[in-house]
Chain A
Amino acid sequence: MSLLRRIRNVFRPRPLAQEIDEELRFHLDMRARQYVAEGLPPDEARVRAREAFGNPLLFRERTRDADVWVGLDTFLQDLRQSFRMLRRSPALTAAAVVTLALGIGANTGVFSLVDAVLLRPLPYPDAERLLVLYQQHERADVGRTRAAPLDFLDWQAQSRSFASMAAHVGTGFTLAGEDPELVIGQLVSAELFTVLGVRPLLGRTFRRDENEAGRDGVMLLGYALWQRRFGGDPGVLGRSVVANGRSFTVVGVMPPGFDYPGKRYQLWVPLPLRAANDYGLPITRQSRYLQVVGRLRPGVTPQQAAADLDAIGRRLSVAYPDSNAETTVRVASLTEETVGAVRRPMLLLLGAAGLVLLVACANVGGLLLARASARRAEMALRSALGAAVRRLIRRLLTETVALFAVGLAAGLVVAQATLLAVRRFGPADIPRLDEAVLDGRAFFFAALVVGVAALLFGLAPALHAARSGAAGAAAVAGGRVHGGAPSRQRLGNAVVVAQLGLALALLTGAGLVGRSLLTLQAVDKGFAANQVVTFGLGLPPARFPDAASMLAVHRSLVDGLAAQPLFEAVGTTTALPLSGQDLENSVTLEGDAPSEDPPVAGLHGVSPGYLQAMGIPLRQGRGFTAQDREDARPVAIVNETFAHLHWPPGDALGKRLQTDGPWRTVVGVVGDVRHRRPDVSPRPEVLVPYAQLDPGFLTSWARGVSVVVRSSAEPSVVVGLARSAVREIDPTLPLVEVRPMRELVADATAQPRFRALLMAGFALIATVLSLVGVFGVTSHFAAQRWPEIGVRMALGARRADIFALVLGRGAWLALAGALLGLAAAIALSRSLSSLLFEVSPTDPTILGLAAAVLTVAALLASYLPARRAARVDPAVTLRQR
């Protein structure tokens, strides 16, 4: 409490001083009055009073010291003086603050991103106890799959490691009303909300018995959907909502932010697993479409759970060899599943930002060092006047702190701007990126970074100046104090070489990431995305209960759209490339012995116009036509990879295969498409006419189709025409996910582009900062040698020689920095290799180019000091000497 008062006293210096003054004056006056009463004349009385009292100024100070916290008081005094000093050299201050702002801003911004994406636990209680369960096939081309319903029920019943376990699968819901709308929802087992530990905002979640067919007509709304479609009305509970032609009762609303298992999902509905369901989802061990998540029982480790499930998987593969042979059950942490893929790139960015900060701090350290040298005279004087070395160091450190504090404030502004830009323009597929905010954690991080940096880069110059100041105290007497000890020059050179090295490492990294991006963007994706607009249509079971009704509406949709004169080609597919939609199935080839593990290929149902609309080239044979109807001879088209894999070159046409039902004759071979990701090589694919898909398959897996329209008209015009064409055929069908195909392609490379952009920014900052460093050091080098230069010129050296002398210093720095940077780049290359696409992390062109750019830039930075040195007038410098 006393300390508190003494801290407060620091901040009210004036009234306090006045009070003390008044108190002391009262004493002096009283004493003087007493002497007057004893008979002394007033003047003498006052003098006597003063004598008895002692030095009033001294006692005023001591009294004040008793009232305030001296340490804080001194600090504030120093701080005030520091700001005065900073204001007095605005150029240096501005340079240092901008430098710091960039370094701190980059780091704080990236930290906020990393914090939001990687460090913060998922928004579920004890999120680290949540595991994802999946099936793993021993064969590499099958690999990891989701779970089949019957298998999931066995896992749930037999596992002892989980407190609760739930399955879920996404599906589209067409909400009926004046404005029909297709939203993506999840079919879930009732336990899901227990597993996640999430409570609804309103109402309740599902009861166990609602997983039984017949009782599953209940629905949970996501917060956004509730706000948007129901106006946030709490009375929505108990209301009936028609979705996919079926009536659901709303039993609850989920809190804002709940979007498990991803941003797209807006409602949740129970998934009946024990009997046939309304969604046409087969309850078997063959169809593996369920995502499974479980919460570990208290005290059970993930390793124990893995062993437990492994044993269950073995039992199942023995009990059901037809479906479960060669399969095991695996677990992975939900957190890792969510953010694992972006960990490396995010850490790379954090590392790059750290290097930028090092370069920035080195610059500021250099500036402080330079100023410390310039102030050796001042320090020497203070030292001579009796200031303790500790006091001087403290003074200088306070100045550094003041500088870094301003830098911190400016850095936070930079960080906030960066974050806004990233949230706005960053890739949508980095989970939780939009949650990044500049909060207390980020501020703490920034303050920590600044504190450490200030100590590291402020202490050395302060020590240097204070020591040399103390040592130079004697020199002051002689009136000769010169700046620039050799030790400072060596330190300065080392700092600049390190800066250049770091900048080169960043430049190389940016070059590699950039080249990788260009390669990725140039890679042939197998289709022509320009002038293509796509949108999705869902054919809900309530309205189109069987294959015949689905095919009828599909045919009239295709015909109606194709009739638009502005549309050059129209097609549909069950899985659009780069959209995340995909389906794989096993394929049996005619003539092959029936095998336990047939090959697997992508399986897509497409309409006749699809190849043309998407711009997929036909290599051999023919495309599908309107004659390839459900009652015609079953046909298929394979891609080149499939043909190469299974048949001799040119031999594909006429071969027969079986994948979704009947035996099909191959009538065509098409070019490969990079279906899943632009950086993954094409895999074997089989295309089947949509109309010829097996009816069971059609009604369960092919209710959502993507329409592809090729047209030279504006996308907005295309969408308008398509919308009215669809409305004419069936007004209850909404168009969803309307997007130009180019956008899908751009999104598929959004993450590498984001990385390349940030890396380029960091490299640019680091390069510019290190060039400032080169400029500073060569300028100093030249300034130190002015007398020497004068002598040399007097002795006949040409200006070109002087120019070369200074430029040579720059070249020497650049060379040393380049060598160091190349070594650093090669050492760091391994951490980069997994992020590069068809570019070697030690690509000689990039390394060479980066080194050349940096060297030339460093020479340019030393050009100005060199020119100034060459213009030195020998007469002037010699006279100064």
Chain B
Amino acid sequence: MATPRKRASVLQGTLDLLVLSTLRREPLHGFGIAQRIQQDSDELLRVEEGSLYPALHRLEQSGLIAGDWRDSDNGRRARYYSLTARGRRQLAVELDSWQRISQGVALVLRLA
């Protein structure tokens, strides 16, 4: 959607993008998402894990991801999140702009 979203901190925006892209492959619970992000970013991203949950619920409220309770691998009930169709579109848009920004940044850095 083209509506301007609430101005978010860079970190929050990044976290949203990471969550969305993590869920691209399969539904995951919060802990799984945290694990995946840490692995994928080579433990570079060190934020408090708890801050993942407000972000997850916010994304859910804006309809980009959907959460439902399922049994996890070890038998305990866990809340799994999956990407909605809208989330998929949003991810595409954000990836695109992210790539353009990072290309731009890379260019600037090279010229510097």
Contact = CB atoms under 8 A, between A and B. Distances in A.
Contact of B79 (A23, A31, A65): A23
Contact of A54 (B31, B48, B57, B78): B48
Nearest to B32: A30
A56 B49 contact: no
Contacts of A53: 48-50
A59 B50 contact: yes
A24 to B, nearest CB: 6
B29 interface: yes
A382 interface: no
B4 interface: no
A6 B62 CA distance: 10
A52 B54 CA distance: 16
Contact of B53 (A1, A23, A30, A31): A23
A63 B54 contact: yes
B51, B58, B61, B78, most chain A CB atoms within 10 A: B61
B27 interface: no
B31 A30 contact: yes
Contacts of B65: none
A66 B16 CA distance: 14
B31 A26 contact: yes
B50 A56 contact: yes
Contact of A20 (B53, B58, B76): B53
Contact of A23 (B30, B58, B61): B30
Nearest to A26: B78
Given A27-B30, A65-B54, A5 B49 contact: no
Contacts of A480: none
B5 interface: no
Contacts of A66: 54-55, 57-58, 61
A880 interface: no
Contacts of A1: 63
Nearest to A62: B54
A5 B61 contact: yes
B61 A52 contact: no
B77 interface: yes
Contacts of A584: none
Nearest to A67: B57
A5, A24, A27, most chain B CB atoms within 10 A: A27
A29 B74 CA distance: 12
A58 interface: yes
Q: How large is the interface on B (under 10, 10 to 19, 20 to 34, 35 or more residues)?
A: 20 to 34
Contact of A67 (B31, B34, B51, B61): B61
Contact of B49 (A31, A58, A63): A31
B62 A59 contact: no
B20 to A, nearest CB: 16
A27 B34 contact: yes
A89 interface: no
Nearest to A56: B50
Q: How large is the interface on A (under 10, 10 to 19, 20 to 34, 35 or more residues)?
A: 20 to 34
A437 to B, nearest CB: 43
A271 to B, nearest CB: 69
A639 B78 CA distance: 102
B77 to A, nearest CB: 7
A243 B76 CA distance: 89
A19 B77 CA distance: 11
A390 B71 CA distance: 46
Interface string A66-84: 1100000000000000000
Contact of A24 (B53, B58, B63, B77): B53
A847 B108 CA distance: 88
A725 B63 CA distance: 88
A834 interface: no
A1 B29 CA distance: 24
Given A26-B31, A26-B78, A27-B34, A2 B50 contact: no
A56 B50 CA distance: 7
A31 B29 CA distance: 13
Contact of B51 (A5, A6, A22, A54): A54
A55 interface: yes
Contacts of A30: 31
Nearest to A6: B61
A189 B57 CA distance: 74
Interface in A26-44: 26-27, 29-31
B52 to A, nearest CB: 8
Contacts of B63: 1-2
A25 to B, nearest CB: 10
A69 to B, nearest CB: 10
Contacts of A26: 29-31, 72, 76-79
Nearest to B63: A2
Interface in A349-387: none
B25 to A, nearest CB: 20
A2 B86 CA distance: 14
B77 A22 contact: yes
Interface string B18-62: 000000000001110010000000000000111101111110011
B34, B48, B57, B72, most chain A CB atoms within 10 A: B57
A59 B31 contact: no
Contacts of B56: 63
Contacts of B76: 26, 29
Contacts of B34: 27
Contacts of B31: 26-27, 30-31
Given A27-B31, A27-B34, A59 B51 contact: yes
A512 B14 CA distance: 77
Nearest to A51: B48
Interface in B55-106: 55-58, 61-63, 72, 76-79
A875 to B, nearest CB: 62
B55 to A, nearest CB: 8
Nearest to A69: B61
11 contacts: A20-B57, A22-B77, A26-B29, A26-B77, A31-B49, A53-B48, A55-B50, A59-B50, A59-B54, A63-B53, A66-B55
Lowest 6 CB-CB distances: which A-B pairs, in order? Answer: A54-B48, A59-B50, A66-B57, A54-B50, A62-B54, A66-B58
Given A52-B49, A67-B61, 19 more contacts: A1-B63, A2-B62, A20-B53, A20-B57, A22-B77, A24-B50, A24-B53, A26-B77, A26-B79, A27-B34, A27-B53, A29-B76, A52-B48, A59-B50, A59-B51, A59-B53, A63-B57, A65-B54, A66-B61
